[in-house]
């Protein structure tokens, strides 16, 4: 006995619906009008466009014509009477599995998303950043430094420039296969900070220079920044940041704004992690560079110690310098020579005698 | 779960109602999310089509559901074409910075965006209407692109010159253009508004911006929606709207709280609450002889490039 369902037929031309009776049969869908006329739709011509979710009517289309059925049981009947062609129709019996499917999808999406986010993207970004030519890095770095190092705020003091260039040259001489041309600009601004742009252009603020007591301390900071350049930390961070942003925006586009905020803060936390890792690497590498150049690495340590003392007083400038950096205490512990290590004799830097003058030569005329 | 309002109220006003559930939409979104992650974002277009299909299918008017006829594939192709256009745009921008000057390049950006926005709005409106149907009959938008440029660029210019006072007139002009060129089958919608009816309310809203910490704009938005829908008609019927500032404020605040408490996971419920509020407060007054409405073969064939462009520029036509 074949079952029948009442449905509404729309011809796709008029908005007037006609009541019909549908009977799913093996050869196709029988459509009987109230006046007794029968039309058969072969299953291969029919597509189901609605009725996959609870509360939806079943909508069957053939070209512009369509049938609307309220009762989803017609779908189950289709699967019963025409099992070979019924794959094109939704089967309501699958609906009970949906909660499990959604739960599984949620777990899989989080696991996979985290895997891509924390492992795959950083790995690919680092790989790509290591492949790009130095000339491209220089171009990248110029974008950052051009706006900062305009001639107005750059310190033009000849003695300082010569001293800084001399230290950089000594440090660079100890690096084998160095593809970078290191350059330093001292910016007249009372900020305790220094940074390295991709490609080798470094910026030291006069506030940092003024707080150094010996040339070895500045050499320590420069060695640290040069290590950032050599290890391509900036370039890697940029690639990582851009690719995670693209990945996040692809997901957020679907997930809505508030979830975006959560994912964005995950990104910030991730960045801080990578940043601390890079700082540790630059500390270790910088120390090695100082030793290779026969410059006393104690300068780097004593500068950090000075910063830490100020840290206790919660100096605003200093907090700025430290955000996204490891704890100063930790860094000092790591940088101090291990007990029992071979004693190395260091050549004192020649500009030590006039350092007091050099350190303050670039101070801004009016402190802001 | 609130029970949907009956589609015909005792007063003879007909309302559309939304029959879907947040839980189902959440399920669809989570499966979409997984597929988006697996495909590194490519699936998002298919996911978007799936969500739209669900939302349209669950929206009922006078016993029948709406239908969305768009596909993920066409959205993807539309986005690719829009992306291509944006790449060309950037290439020209960088070429100008390199060989001419930065000033000229920035001017080019402004002119370029001004030239592209009307095209994007027009394209997305045409796309949205052509992919929507009810009772087997498609909607369509048949406005002229030139008219869109004229209205939009003229309106922006006048709004800037008048320091914003022209904004409500601009709004009315654009809505007139959108509505008067929108058809259901062979029957057009119509809108007859006048900017001067809104302008004093608009200026009051400007004055009250700071004292009310921007909140008064919700009251203005409600007033504008009521004004607009009352003057929008279809065949012999007209629309009505009962938005209130308080209603919009409560909707916004409660949605925000829901999102905060659930770390954003309530987004499907928030979307549905917005849809419900809109549908429950927008009704069709008066009878429509639906038998007279027939599909129109003149409805234009439309691709999804404009939709992709509007998506990329984050602009859209909202009613």
Q: Cα-Cα-Cα-Cα dihedral of A114, A117, A120, A124, to 10°?
A: 180
pLDDT of A322? 44
B24 Cβ neighbours under 8 A, 6+ residues apart: A53, A54, A55, B54
Q: Are A33 and A47 in contact (CB under 8 A)?
A: no
B51 to chain A: which residues are within 8 Å by CB? 254
Domain residues of chain B, as ranges?
19-68, 82-223+304-319
The chain A residue lying nearest B71, using CA atoms, is: A49
A48 touches chain B (CB under 8 A): no
What is the H or E stretch that residue A318 is in? helix A316-322
Residue-level pLDDT at B10 = 55
Is A246 an interface residue toward B (CB < 8 Å)? yes
Does B33 contact A14 at a Cβ distance shorter than 8 Å? no
Please report residues of A whose CB lies closer than 8 A to that of B263. Answer: 258-259, 262
ipTM of this predicted structure: 0.84
Q: Is the pLDDT of residue A150 over 90?
A: no
Q: CB distance from A253 to chain B under 8 Å?
A: yes
Which is higher by pLDDT, A265 or A199? A199
- The more confident residue out of B262 and A152 is B262
Tokens of A252: 């957020």
- Residues with Cβ within 8 Å of A295's Cβ and at least 6 positions away in sequence, in order, are A167, A170, A171, A216, A219, A223, A346, A347, A349
Higher pLDDT, A367 or A64: A64
Question: Would the CB atoms of A261 and B264 count as touching at under 8 Å?
Answer: yes
Lowest mean pLDDT among A144-158, A167-181, B232-246: A144-158
pLDDT of A342 reads 61
**Largest Cα–Cα distance of chain B, in whole Å?**
70
CA–CA distances in Å: residue B66 to residues A364, B20, B45 = 69, 13, 20
User: Which residues 130-149 in chain A show a CB within 8 A of chain B?
Assistant: none
- CA–CA separation, B219 and B205 (whole Å): 8
With pLDDT > 90 as the criterion, what percentage of chain A qualifies? Answer: 34
| pLDDT per residue as tens, chain B (319 positions) | 344 444 555 568 999 999 999 999 999 999 998 998 888 888 989 999 999 999 999 999 988 999 999 999 999 999 999 999 889 988 998 899 888 888 898 899 888 888 899 999 999 999 999 999 999 999 999 999 999 999 999 999 999 999 999 999 999 999 999 999 999 999 999 999 999 999 999 999 999 999 999 999 999 999 999 999 999 999 999 999 999 999 999 999 999 999 889 888 898 999 999 999 999 999 999 888 888 889 987 767 888 888 888 887 777 776 6
pLDDT given for residue A319 in this prediction: 42
- Nearest CA among B139, B138, B174 for reference residue B317: B174
What are the pLDDT digits (tens) for A228-259? 999 999 888 888 888 888 887 777 665 555 56
CB contact under 8 A, B31 and A102: yes
- The pLDDT confidence band at residue A343, using thresholds 50, 70 and 90, is low
**Angstrom distance (rounded) from CA A113 to CA A104:** 14
As a whole number of angstroms, the distance between CA A100 and CA B26 comes to: 13
pTM of the model: 0.79
pLDDT range class, residue A111, cuts 50, 70, 90: very high
Inter-chain residue contact B54 with A53, CB threshold 8 Å: yes
Q: Summarize the confidence of residues A62-79 as an average pLDDT.
A: 93
B117, B141, B142, B147: which is closest to B128 by C-alpha? Answer: B141
Find all residues with CB under 8 Å of A164, minimum gap 6, and list them.
A184, A186, A204, A218, A222
- With tokens 């692809």, the residue in question is A250
Rounded Cα distance between B84 and B94, Å, is: 15
Q: Are strands B282-285 and B182-184 parallel, antiparallel or unpaired?
A: unpaired
pLDDT surpassing 80 at residue A280? yes
Q: Which pLDDT does position B113 carry in this prediction?
A: 87
DSSP A203-257: EEEHHHHHT-SSHHHHHHHHHHHHHHHHTTHHHHHHHHHHHHHHHHHHHHHHH-H
Full DSSP string of B176-224: HHHHHTEEETTEEEEE---HHHHHHHHHHHHHHTTTTTTTHHHHHHHHH
What is the H or E stretch that residue A6 is in? Answer: strand A5-10
DSSP conformation class of A150: -
C-alpha torsion B14→A70→B291→B179, nearest 10: 50
CB contact under 8 A, B40 and A116: yes
Instruction: Tell me the pLDDT tens digit for each residue of A301-342.
Output: 888 777 766 654 444 444 444 455 666 667 777 777 666 666
Q: Is the pLDDT of residue A367 over 70?
A: no
């Amino acid at each position: 006995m074949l079952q029948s369902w009442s449905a509404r037929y729309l011809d796709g031309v008029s908005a007037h619906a006609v009541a019909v009776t549908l009977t799913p049969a093996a050869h196709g869908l029988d459509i009987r009008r109230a006046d007794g006329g029968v039309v058969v739709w072969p299953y291969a011509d029919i597509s189901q466009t609605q009725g996959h979710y609870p509360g939806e009517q079943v909508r069957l289309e053939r070209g512009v014509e369509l049938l609307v059925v309220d009762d989803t049981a017609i779908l189950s009947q289709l699967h019963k009477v025409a099992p070979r062609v019924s794959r094109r129709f939704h089967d309501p019996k699958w609906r009970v599995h949906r909660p499990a499917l959604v739960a599984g999808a949620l777990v899989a999406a989080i696991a996979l998303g985290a895997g891509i986010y924390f492992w795959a993207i950083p790995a690919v970004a680092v790989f790509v950043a290591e492949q790009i030519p130095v000339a491209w890095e220089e171009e990248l770095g110029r974008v950052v430094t051009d706006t900062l190092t305009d001639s107005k705020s750059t310190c033009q003091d000849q003695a300082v420039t010569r001293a800084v260039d001399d230290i950089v040259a000594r440090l660079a001489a100890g690096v084998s296969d160095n593809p970078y041309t290191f350059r330093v600009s001292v910016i007249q601004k009372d900020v305790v900070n220094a940074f390295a742009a991709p490609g080798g252009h470094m910026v030291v603020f006069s506030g940092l220079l003024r707080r150094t007591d010996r040339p070895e301390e500045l050499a320590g900071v420069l060695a640290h920044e040069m290590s950032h350049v050599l290890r391509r930390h900036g370039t890697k961070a940029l690639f990582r940041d851009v690719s995670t942003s693209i990945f996040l925006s692809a997901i957020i586009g679907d997930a809505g704004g508030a979830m975006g905020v959560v994912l964005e803060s995950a990104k910030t936390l991730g960045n801080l992690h990578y940043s601390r890792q890079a700082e540790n690497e630059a500390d270790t590498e910088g120390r090695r560079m100082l030793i290779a150049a026969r410059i006393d690495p104690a300068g780097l340590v004593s500068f950090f110690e000075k910063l830490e003392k100020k840290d206790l007083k919660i100096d605003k400038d200093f907090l700025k310098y430290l955000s996204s950096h490891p704890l100063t205490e930790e860094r000092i512990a790591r940088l101090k020579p291990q007990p029992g290590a071979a004693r190395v004799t260091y050549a004192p830097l020649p500009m030590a005698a006039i350092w007091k003058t050099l350190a303050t030569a670039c101070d801004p005329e009016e402190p802001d | 779960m609130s029970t949907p309002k009956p589609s015909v109220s005792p007063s003879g006003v007909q309302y559309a109602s939304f029959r879907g559930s947040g839980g189902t939409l959440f399920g669809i979104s989570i499966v979409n999310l997984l597929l988006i992650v697996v495909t590194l974002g490519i699936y998002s277009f298919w996911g978007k089509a799936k969500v739209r299909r669900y939302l349209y299918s669950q929206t009922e008017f006078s016993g029948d559901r709406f239908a969305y006829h768009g596909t993920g594939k066409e959205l993807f192709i539309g986005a690719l074409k829009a992306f291509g256009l944006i790449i060309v745009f950037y290439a020209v921008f960088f070429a100008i910075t390199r060989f001419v000057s930065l000033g000229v390049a920035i001017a080019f950006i402004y002119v370029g965006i001004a030239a592209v926005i009307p095209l994007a709005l027009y394209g997305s409106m045409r796309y949205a209407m052509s992919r929507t149907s009810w009772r087997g009959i498609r909607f369509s938008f048949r406005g002229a692109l030139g008219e869109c440029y004229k209205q939009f660029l003229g309106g922006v210019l006048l709004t800037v010159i008048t320091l914003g006072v022209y904004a409500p007139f601009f709004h009315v002009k654009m809505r007139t253009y959108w509505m008067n060129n929108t058809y259901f089958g062979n029957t057009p919608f119509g809108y007859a508004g006048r900017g001067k009816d809104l302008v004093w309310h608009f200026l009051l809203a400007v004055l009250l911006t700071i004292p009310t910490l921007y909140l008064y704009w919700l009251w203005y938005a409600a007033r504008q929606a009521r004004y607009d829908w009352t003057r929008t008609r279809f065949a012999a019927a007209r629309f009505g709207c009962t938005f209130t500032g308080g209603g919009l404020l409560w909707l916004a605040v409660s949605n925000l709280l829901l999102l905060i408490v659930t770390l954003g996971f309530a987004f499907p419920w928030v979307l549905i609450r917005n849809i419900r509020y809109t549908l429950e407060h927008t009704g069709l007054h008066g009878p429509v002889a639906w038998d007279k409405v027939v599909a129109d073969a003149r409805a234009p064939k439309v691709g999804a490039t404009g939709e992709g462009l509007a998506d990329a520029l984050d602009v859209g036509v909202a009613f």
